[in-house]
Each structure stands twice: as C-alpha cells, then as structure tokens.
Amino acid sequence: MQENRNEHEYLTGRERYVRAGEIELWAEEFGHPDRPPVLLVMGAQAQGIQWNDGIVRRLVDGGLRVVRYDHRDTGRSSVVDFAAHPYTVADMASDALAVLDAFGARRAHLVGASLGGIIAQRLAVSRPDRVLTLTSLSSQPLGTDTAGAVRRALEGAPALPGELPPPSPELLAALVSTLPAPEAGPEQYLAARLPLWRVLHGPVLPFHEDEYRATERRVYERARDLRAGLHHTLAGAAGSGATAELASVTAPTLVLHGTEDPMFPPAHAEATAAAVPGARLVMVEGMGHTLPRALDARLADEILRHTRGPEQGPGVRHRAA
C-alpha cells in the first residue's frame, strides 16, 4: 500500500526553474526519479503545458519519468530581446540540454512536436550521446525552408523543384488573420485563436471547442508575453542544419504524423523518415497539426512502444487507427 501511495504522489508535477545561460526556463517533472526520462519538446509559440496531462499520465503509467518545459519566449520562461540577442534552433536545442542537466538526466528519450521535432532532430545529430530514442511528431526534416515555402505560397509563386509542400491555403489564411492584437484581453484573445485551432485540428476528427478554449485560456494566463513566441519563427529559419545530416542519426527513430496535417502535409513526415536510417513512420488517421485529447491514448501508446524497443523491423511504415 505504501508503494502505491508513493507511486501516486509521483503523478503530481514537480515544478522548477532551470538556468540556461542568461535565461530561465520553467520546467515540470512527473514520475519516479529512477525511471527512464523522456523530454517532451513543444512546437513554435507553444508552452510545455500544451503536452496534454492525459499524455503525460499515460507515459508515467507506462514506466517513464516525464519532463515538459516552456521554451524561451513562451509561458513562464524568460522573454528575450530578440533584436539585441537573436537566437537559433541550435540555441533552443541547448536549452533542452540545460533542462536535462538540471534534472540529472544524462540521456533521455526525446519527443518533439512541430518545431520541437526539429529541435529533437538537431540534438540527435549534434549530441547523440544524450539521446536514447527520437520521436519526431507532426514535424519535418532538418533544413526545410518553411519560411521560404510560405512566402512563395502567399505570393502565388511556384514551389521550387523538390520543395516539400507548404501549409494548406486554409491554414495560410488563418495564420494571417488570427494574430491577436497586443492589447487583447482574454476573450478577444480566445476569439482570435479558436479559428486557427479549427484549421490546425483538421477536418476529420470532431472539434471540441471547449477543449481548445480551456487550453488557450491557460496559455493566456501563464504567458509573460504572448507575442514573444513569434521569435520562434525567426529562430526556426536559422541554425537547424541540413536534411543530409539526419543520415548520421543513430538513435532509434519514430516519425509520428497526422494524415490531415495542414501545416506539414504528410510528405514532410515521409521525407523525415527517409532521411533517418531505420526510421519507422506511423501515420495517424484523421490527425491534423494538434494534439487533441481524443488521441492521448494513441499517441502515448506509440511513444511507449517506441521507447521500450523495436517490435518490428526498421523502415516499416503503417497507419494507426
């Protein structure tokens, strides 16, 4: 009984602030400290809490020690004067290492969503000694010029030869039209953000507005500066490296992606899996570019299966229900 009580206690997040050079990062840990660590790396402009509690609980129940954190310029972490101190994806990867160091994790399973997938890939290339496994979720390969592809799409210019597809026209329109004003209050902020989440969610799975509204309200309340996360777009255009570098990745790699992703269409996942030796590609039917609670169990199960070790040969592609 005492053991069960102790295990239950570890389901409560333990928050702390981590120093990464001159900045401070908010981080939170779940699970028994002796269990294998998994670092959850969120995407651009996204806070660590946007890793659903349901995913976190399932990973902890599956035997992992889970750490999630706020990137610089998001949530409770430091706001950076980007004009005076510009940073790159490589710098954001160093932040992730600082979090691991603070929690005493010499090596960890890395799970990165969207820009977080790029950060995780960067670490798998540059610091393979720190990476147990790599999961690239709803992301794209290192070195992809997304900013250029978006610019050309908005200008009506043709894609470059061999270029991965840009975000969907519906998403490009939503990105342009749903940026909240700096002085926006909570209701104005929510009204501006929800149309974007509808598009990112995709057209197949039911959209539960209350779920996204609750998350965005929490994001609003935690943020030091809601617009500072826009710096991630600038950081994402520099310092990520080249797709060819993924050939050096030795960590077992899972590429997990939605069939309805409007930000990074499935070709991005296919290119990532093709670039990493032995990578396994799993396409999740109906999933867009969000992590709805309805998929908590599916995504956690895939991550747990991957972190426990290969159950099928390398290079296998399949679709998850």
> Which are the catalytic amino acids?
114, 261, 289
The single-letter code of the amino acid at 303 is I
Distance in angstroms (rounded) separating the CA atoms of residues 116 and 136: 8
**Which CA distances in Å does 181 have to 98, 192, 224, 269?**
33, 9, 15, 33
Distance in angstroms (rounded) separating the CA atoms of residues 124 and 107: 11
